[in-house]
Amino acid sequence: MLKQNINVLNRSQNDINWIAFEKFVRSHIENLDPSPLKVKQFTEGYSNLTYLIKIGNWEAIMRRPPFGKLPPKAHDVEREFILLEKLHSVFPLAPQPYLYEEDPNIMDKHFYIMEKKNGIVLDDRIPPLYQEVPNIEKILSESVVDTLVQLHDIDYKQAGLADFGKPDGYLERQVHGWMKRYKNSKTDEIEVYPDIEKWITSNIPDSPSPTIVHNDYKVNNMMFSVIDPGKPVGVLDWEMCTIGDPLTDLASAIAYWKDENDPFTAINSVTTNGGFISRQAFLERYASKSNRDLSNFQFYLAFAYFKIAAILQQIYYRWKEGHIVDDRFSSLIEGIQNLMQLSHDVIYSKKG
């Protein structure tokens, strides 16, 4: 008889029938030992929820939507599962998906189980394991660039992903969609915003040939080898992946590629510790390896800074309205203002 022997970290986990979940796993995964199921939740909030599940030496990741009522078509983890099924075979750094299920007797929403990648995630510092490696920051930097080039080089049609996005008009939809989201969550007047909106909406360039777009490509969404420093072993968080303009991915990566002289933006990055290649060197390496024209990159970087500001604005709005009780979010408005200023600087001073 199965026992519900798990690490319950919050009340919402009690809404999952972990006994039924364990039975489901054991019925589909062969040769699991009789050790009890153990569960640890990694994330919670407004993104899809992520859990580490363990039975003996076997480990995997379970992803499901947040609890409660959700907007239509939001948090579609079935789409994630199907995407990873197709993507993993051509880009093994994407986790391999194992099982998908939507049995309401197990939990209130659909979920899937996928491979657990094992390695090092770089959040805000170089781990001791890497600190003795000569030029580790340069090695990591080049790996980040080269992995993005590799992702954008995939023939998405041949991989069966042609239906995973609408590349025609992608950039224009992104611009107007994020302008609308920002306005709908606006709380404070930011002096430079009107100029940003006017310039960005008036200068949307023609996109290059479409590619797979990760849509949240940054250092801490990658995992690196423990035994071979700098070698990527995983790219994580495919929730927003689509088919579209690859330069939006590049610009977001650059915007997140902070250095020690950047103002406060409420974003942490290991690159602020110094030693990593410059933003310009990142661009030059990407351009050289991808053969893509970056002559319109000023637009993409200005939009990337604005988009990150808009994402933070949505969170700050929910905090200010009392929908989130966490005083850490009280300082987000400073980060939003600084990101808007960075966008403005790119447009009018051509910095960044």
Give the C-alpha separation, 82 to 271, whole Å.
Answer: 33
Q: If you search the block for the tokens 């360039």, which residue do you land on?
A: 205
Half-sphere CA count of 29, side-chain side, radius 13 A: 24
Question: Over its length of 352 residues, how does the chain's per-residue pLDDT go in tens digits?
Answer: 343 444 444 434 558 999 999 999 999 999 999 999 999 998 554 578 899 999 999 999 999 988 776 655 556 899 999 999 999 999 999 999 999 999 999 999 999 999 999 999 999 999 999 999 999 999 999 999 999 999 999 999 999 999 999 999 999 999 999 999 999 999 999 999 999 999 999 999 999 999 999 999 999 999 999 999 889 999 999 999 999 999 999 999 999 999 989 999 999 999 999 999 999 999 999 999 999 999 999 999 999 999 999 999 998 998 999 887 778 889 999 999 999 999 999 999 755 4
Residue showing tokens 């590349």: 167
Domains delineated in the chain: 11-115 (3.30.200), 128-348 (3.90.1200.10)
Task: Report the pLDDT value the prediction gives residue 8, as an integer from 0 to 100.
Answer: 42
In this prediction the pTM is 0.91
* Dist. CA 334–CA 338, nearest whole Å: 6
For position 11, what pLDDT does the model report? Answer: 39
Closest CA to 253 of 283, 293, 288, 287: 283
Q: Which of 56, 45, 36, 35 is nearest to 10 (CA)?
A: 45
Give CA–CA dist 98/111, Å, rounded: 11
pLDDT value for 43: 59
What's the pLDDT at 324? 76
Q: What pLDDT, on the 0 to 100 scale, is given for residue 67?
A: 77
